[in-house]
Amino acid sequence: MDLFRMLGGGARFDKKRFKDDIEIFQPKAAPTGLNADTEAALATELDFFKNNKKSIVKKGKKRKKEKKDTKTKSDSESEDESAESSGEDQTHEGDESEDENSNDDSEGDNDEDSEDNEDPEEGSEEDNNEEESTEFKDKEQLSLFRNHLKIRVYGTDIPNPFRSFDELAKQYQVEPYLQRNILASGFKKPTPIQMQAIPVILHGRDVMAMAPTGSGKTMAFVLPILYDLKGPEKVGYRAVIISPTRELATQIFNQIKKLSVGKKFKICMLTKATAATQGQAPHLRQKYDILISTPLRLVHAIQQEKMELDHVRHLVLDEADKLLEQGFLEQTDEIFAACSHPSIQKSLFSATLPSGVEALANTFMRSPVRIVIGSKNAATETIEQKLIYCGSEEGKLIAIRQQIQRGLKPPVLIFVQSIERAKELFHELIYDGINVDVIHSERTKAQRDKIVEGFRQGKVWVLIATELMARGVDFKGVNLVINYDFPQTVQSYIHRIGRTGRAGRSGEAITYFTNEDQTYLKSIVNVMRESGCEVADWMLAMKKPSKNQKKNLRQRPLGRSSINTMSSYDKKKIAHKRDMIANSKKRKVAASDNAASTSAPGAYGGFKKSKSDSSKA
């Protein structure tokens, strides 16, 4: 890696002398290196939601025969037709102030990166005894359809995907309330993971599903659960969904609420408060249908005998690879043990499922169907990924300031590797007049909720975050993700940058790297290549990190010098000067126009920070 040594001066290196090298490091304008035709084809294929190309499959002939195990509509349940009334009557948010995910600031115990991607042809165990297709003309048509949408399936007797919500409704007799709620969500077309995973779960099969970030995995498991539960029953929990963070659990809870409007399901988000209500004698306990929890919270409740999980028929691990890695594995195992129903159906979902995790999962799943959408362990293709060489830690701070000066289009998420560094960067940027906030597991639940809400509503434009926010959280409009600190694992990279470019939108991800990060660069380069980004040949020729190096990084982030360029005296001086200039400008404008002018956020080069924001520092 002589090149890195040559560039080792970081932000101070001789730009003239290394002009050619700079160009190599500069991000390219076009995200893909494919020819125009291929590019167009890819864009269409990955345009999950826009439906801008006619289906390659014509409507199949009418079903010749009903599938033996196709579910039939239950007429025993009386449906509440009112779309107004929220189905559930439990919407508790607990008051847990501590973060129960002790590991949420460090990612990954995964042993793989995208270099372990499988060849699509290789190792396919797709079974030849697929059920007789009813909706597809023949196997070839089915196979074409799957290939077109990059749906790969492995296992035996795999149900066919459905192609539209109408088709799903007809084929499975989906109840009107569910159809109505799908429509109300504005979802016109299912995403590939929904097309394939929903029928698999409806057929009672265990599933291991891997699909890109922001591709609608949540609905892929929520919809079949609601379908299968049919309506509320007073027997106790029948579905349990586990998520690694409270933020994600809350999001899933909200999505279930939306999709279940019109059915009086009792849905419980397990918090300290809701756990306390479960402390009564079993016969007095509130009976819920669906439970959403983080692992530790649920394990506590199980240990205190507040939970009866023997009626659970659906157990979902969202962000399954995270839940099956060291730190969570014991808890997950305990939850499995408590869900003792003999015909429990298990579903694992994630954007990344390293082979080691899959092997582990195979030990507790029953003949699972494995679904892979797109390339294994790749990033969403609607994200333009860039690597920026900053030389040193100091260079990173200069780079981010330059980025801000050039203008950022909020909302922007910035990831760092530790709570300490999140605080440091926050204290740097707050003096730059940016409307910035910081989230990590040391902040209270109330603070975290407020920040997340503020970011969703556009009140916070730049959010500095630790790994806590890397997974699952659905901020629709994030325009840019900056990996200020190089991620510790490939999985972390994929999930972090997956906070942008969601639901078919485009997004941008920038990763800063220094000389110290060079050993690990190749792993990210591979993800970029897998996701269709153009990467220079010399980058592809780089040596990949050894297993040991990857393991070390996974276990402990690189030691970095603290984020601090200026004394706080200097920072305050700059902030003071800036405020004085701004006030003087305001006075001039007021004097000439005799009117106050307001400015909406839009031109993002010079953020102005409100007083209330300053008080957060």
DSSP-derived secondary structure letter, 284: G
Question: Nearest CA to 380 among 461, 269, 498?
Answer: 498
Under rule CB under 6 A, which residues in 453-482 are in contact with ligand ATP? 472, 474, 476
Decide: is 503 part of the binding site for ligand ATP (CB under 6 A).
yes
| Piece of the chain touching ligand ATP by CB under 6 A; list 121-129, 137-145, 208-216, 589-597 | 208-216
Select from 142, 153, 219, 240 the one that contacts ligand ATP (CB under 6 A).
219
285 or 456: CB nearest ligand ATP: 456
User: For residue 61, how far is the Cα from the chain centroid?
Assistant: 38
In the Cβ-directed half-sphere of 234, how many Cα atoms lie within 13 Å?
5
Cβ partners under 8 Å of residue 595, min gap 6: none
Q: How far is the CB of 346 from ligand ATP (least distance, A)?
A: 18
139 or 476: CB nearest ligand ATP: 476
Select from 110, 181, 191, 514 the one that contacts ligand ATP (CB under 6 A).
191
Select from 351, 408, 465, 524 the one that contacts ligand ATP (CB under 6 A).
351
Select from 108, 155, 190, 374 the one that contacts ligand ATP (CB under 6 A).
190
Cis amide linkage into residue 212, ω under 30° from 0: no
Select from 49, 336, 364, 475 the one that contacts ligand ATP (CB under 6 A).
49
108 or 498: CB nearest ligand ATP: 498
Q: How far is the CB of 321 from ligand ATP (least distance, A)?
A: 11
Cβ partners under 8 Å of residue 261, min gap 6: 83, 85, 86, 87, 177, 180, 181, 184
Q: How many residues are recorded in the chain?
A: 617
Question: Nearest CA to 165 among 143, 203, 191?
Answer: 191
Phi, psi values for residue 370, rounded to 5°: -105, 130
Decide: is 404 part of the binding site for ligand ATP (CB under 6 A).
no
Q: How far is the CB of 211 from ligand ATP (least distance, A)?
A: 6
209 or 436: CB nearest ligand ATP: 209
User: Would the CA dihedral through 437, 441, 447, 451 be positive or negative?
Assistant: positive
Q: How far is the CB of 410 from ligand ATP (least distance, A)?
A: 18
Decide: is 213 part of the binding site for ligand ATP (CB under 6 A).
yes
What share of residues in the chain are helix, strand, coil (percent, to 5)? 40, 10, 50
Decide: is 250 part of the binding site for ligand ATP (CB under 6 A).
no
Cβ partners under 8 Å of residue 231, min gap 6: 74, 77, 78, 79, 263, 264, 265
Decide: is 437 part of the binding site for ligand ATP (CB under 6 A).
no
302 or 351: CB nearest ligand ATP: 351
Binding mask 148-187 for ligand ATP (x = CB under 6 A): ---------------------------------------x
User: Would the CA dihedral through 554, 555, 560, 564 be positive or negative?
Assistant: positive
User: CA-CA distance, 358 to 88, in Å (whole number)?
Assistant: 34
Decide: is 515 part of the binding site for ligand ATP (CB under 6 A).
no
Q: Are strands 369-373 and 207-210 parallel, antiparallel or unpaired?
A: parallel
Decide: is 215 part of the binding site for ligand ATP (CB under 6 A).
yes
Contacts by 163-170, CB closer than 8 A, 24 or more apart: 163/55, 163/57, 163/135, 163/190, 163/195, 164/189, 164/190, 165/189, 165/190, 167/135, 168/198, 168/199
User: CA-CA distance, 219 to 242, in Å (whole number)?
Assistant: 15
Select from 106, 110, 196, 218 the one that contacts ligand ATP (CB under 6 A).
218
| Piece of the chain touching ligand ATP by CB under 6 A; list 277-285, 427-435, 498-506, 522-530 | 498-506
Decide: is 487 part of the binding site for ligand ATP (CB under 6 A).
no
Decide: is 502 part of the binding site for ligand ATP (CB under 6 A).
yes
Residues lying near ligand ATP in the complex (CB under 6 A): 49, 187, 189-191, 194, 211, 213-219, 351, 472, 474, 476, 498, 502-503
